[in-house]
Amino acid sequence: MSLKFTPDHEWIRVDANGVATVGITPHAQDALGDVVFVDLPEVGKTYAAHDTVGVVESVKAAADV
Q: How far apart are the C-alpha atoms of 37 and 44, rounded to whole Å?
A: 21
Q: What is the pTM for the complete model shown?
A: 0.76
Q: Please state the φ and ψ torsions of residue 31, each to the nearest 5 degrees.
A: -70, -35
Q: Please state the φ and ψ torsions of residue 15, each to the nearest 5 degrees.
A: -85, 180
What is the domain partition of the chain in residue ranges? 4-64
Q: Decide: helix, strand or coil at residue 32.
A: helix
CATH fold for the domain made of 4-64: OB fold (Dihydrolipoamide Acetyltransferase, E2P) (2.40.50)
Q: Tens-of-pLDDT digits for all 65 residues of the chain?
A: 799 999 989 999 999 998 888 889 999 999 989 999 999 888 888 888 888 888 889 887 666 65
